[in-house]
Amino acid sequence: MAMITPRLYFAKRLYSGVSSNVKAQKYVLTKYFQGEPKKSDFKIVSEELRDLKDGEILAEAEYLSVDPYMRAYMIGYKLPTDMIGGQVAKIIASRNKSYTEGTYITGSFGWRTHTICNPDDISNKAGLLPITTLPDFSPHPVSLALGVLGMPGNTAYFGLKEICQPKSGETIVITGAAGAVGSHVGQIGKIMGCRVVGFAGTDEKCEYLEKELGFDRAFNYKTVNIKAALKEGCPNRVDCYFDNVGGEISSTIINYMNKYGRVAVCGSISSYNESQLPKVSILQPAIVLKELKIEGFLVNRWTDRWNEGITANLSWLREGKLKYQEKIYHGFDNMVDALVGILRGENTGKAVVKVK
Ligand SMILES: NC(=O)c1ccc[n+]([C@@H]2O[C@H](COP(=O)([O-])OP(=O)(O)OC[C@H]3O[C@@H](n4cnc5c(N)ncnc54)[C@H](OP(=O)(O)O)[C@@H]3O)[C@@H](O)[C@H]2O)c1
């Protein structure tokens, strides 16, 4: 099977443009990130949009997503390049009967205000999360299509259920536990009858996880001894580990697992801003002696089951079993601040940018 590269996954341009009344603005990455992303790594470019052809729509972004992969993946692109990313957009003009004006959609359009595309064009779908018309989320905001009811929500849903396959009564440990994916994984773990223990970067986040989201225990990884926290929080050790951060904390957790434990390797945010990858404790003895299963995944593995995840998460949300927080940044000019914000841990739950 062909490897799914970040480029294939996120980056296809869906339009090209000349002439119309609408001017789009977009971020173009002109320098590779070094350490934290900086505004000076980008140029904001204005673009005249052309008239729509048959089958096309014009979508105006309302919420843009900032996600950790944006920091990790851009190294794979030839510069200059349009910045990648998902968005919730409203259709403001349409020459496609299936996509009427006023409808909200999600698309991997990148950091841009307006997009012309043909949602039916098969070439738009190769390797990308498909353009999706939003179901009725009311009374919840449409921005949830970038969080609990979108890519991070499905990452939690499929990553936990398919890779960790937890059974009721088992113990799940989650790093990055207060973020978009981690906070969601923990709640599904509770719905599935498991003991759930999280690691997050502030005491306030830990309190939120325990008091609001029902985690059995949450520890501030910046201030506790990880081994001691595991001993205290996981009296029956660890059956499933949902790894969002990588690094030494992951080695410590994996060494504390039970026989036949399962690890879902979702991401390694602890290394995304680093130019030198960290050296961590060896894992092979634990993997062999405890017969562990460690599996990485990309959520687009389940593109053909996308609606299953959205529907399950929406039902849990409506039943009050799934809660969310959003960190909302304001203004198209603040995209870089928002991206830096998630890498610094400013967010609890999903971070999004409200364009206007
Ligand atoms: N495999 C896939 O398909 C897929 C899909 C989506 C996301 N992901 C991955 O899942 C992980 C979480 O993504 P998300 O969207 O839910 O982001 P997020 O957790 O909402 O935001 C990032 C969080 O990472 C934490 N963090 C930052 N630097 C850290 C460090 N050095 N060590 C530990 N934690 C650190 C911060 O929280 P603290 O305050 O707790 O430090 C921050 O709030 C990322 O690794 C991402 O790449 C993978």
pLDDT in tens, 93-144: 999 999 999 999 999 999 999 999 999 986 655 456 789 999 888 899 999 9
Site to substitute for ligand 1 among 4, 64, 181, 253, most atoms within 8 A of C-beta:
181
CA of 244 to the centre of ligand 1 (A): 6
Q: Percent of the chain having pLDDT more than 70?
A: 92
Task: Indicate if ligand 1 lies below 6 Å from the C-beta of 266.
Answer: yes
Q: Domain spanning 9-143+325-354: which superfamily?
A: Medium-chain alcohol dehydrogenases, catalytic domain (3.90.180.10)
43 pLDDT more than 50: yes
Q: What is the pLDDT of residue 130?
A: 80
Is ligand 1 within 6 A of the CB of residue 298? yes
pLDDT above 80 for 2? no
pLDDT score recorded for residue 125: 54
Q: Is the CB of 180 under 6 A from ligand 1?
A: yes
Note the pLDDT tens digit of each residue in 147-175: 999 999 999 999 999 999 999 999 999 99
Which ligand 1 atom sits closest to the C-alpha of 351? 20
Q: Which atom, in ligand 1's list, is nearest to the CA of 346?
A: 43
Q: Which of 53-62, 80-89, 123-132, 202-211 has the lowest mean pLDDT?
A: 123-132
Longest dimension (CA), the chain: 65
Phi, psi torsion values for 122, nearest 5 degrees: -60, -30
**Predicted confidence band of residue 18 (pLDDT cuts 50, 70, 90):** very low
Q: d(Cα 209, Cα 182) in Å, to the nearest integer?
A: 10
Question: Residue 236: phi, psi to the nearest 5?
Answer: -100, 25
CATH 3.40.50.720 segments of the chain: 151-299
Contacts with 261 (C-beta within 8 Å, 6 or more apart), sequence order:
238, 239, 240, 241, 254, 290, 292, 293
The angle that helices 151-158 and 180-191 make with each other, rounded to 10 degrees, is 40
Cut 0.85: pTM above it: yes
Domain with CATH 3.90.180.10 in the chain: 9-143+325-354
Which candidate, 222, 230, 284, places its Cα nearest to that of 253? 230
Residue with the smallest CA separation from ligand 1 atom 5 is: 155
pLDDT value for 121? 86
Ligand 1 atom closest to Cα of 72?
A: 47
How far is it, in rounded angstroms, from Cα 101 to Cα 106?
Answer: 14
3 state DSSP class of 202: coil
* Closest to 101 (Cα-Cα) out of 89, 109, 113: 89
CA of 249 to the centre of ligand 1 (A): 14
Ligand 1 and 119: CB distance under 6 A:
no
CB of 226 within 6 A of ligand 1: the answer is no
- Report the nearest-CA residue for atom 41 of ligand 1: 201
- The pLDDT value recorded for residue 1 is 31
Q: Residue 95: helix, strand or coil by DSSP?
A: coil
Residue nearest to atom 43 of ligand 1 (CA): 345
For a mutational test of ligand 1's pocket, the pick from 71, 223, 263, 269, i.e. the residue with the most ligand atoms closer than 8 A to its C-beta, is: 269
The two tokens of residue 115 are: 């997009």
Check if 67 has its Cβ closer than 6 Å to any atom of ligand 1: yes
Could you tell me if the CB of 297 is within 6 A of ligand 1?
A: yes
Chain centroid to CA 218: 21
Query: Do 239 and 171 contact (CB within 8 A), yes or no?
Result: yes
Q: Determine whether the shortest distance from the Cβ of 65 to ligand 1 is under 6 A.
A: no
Distance CA 185, CA 59 (A): 31
* Ligand 1 center from residue 243 Cα (angstroms): 9
Report whether residue 152 contacts ligand 1, using a CB cutoff of 6 Å.
yes
Please identify, by atom number, the ligand 1 atom nearest to the C-alpha of residue 270.
Answer: 31
Whether the pLDDT of residue 11 is over 50: the answer is: no
Q: Which CATH number fits domain 151-299: 1.10.10.10, 3.40.50.720, 3.30.2090.10, 2.102.10.10?
A: 3.40.50.720
Give residue 73's pLDDT. Answer: 93
Is cis: bond before 235, omega within 30 of 0?
no
170 lines ligand 1 (CB under 6 A): no
Beta bridge partner(s), residue 198: 174, 218
Q: What is the pLDDT of residue 111?
A: 98
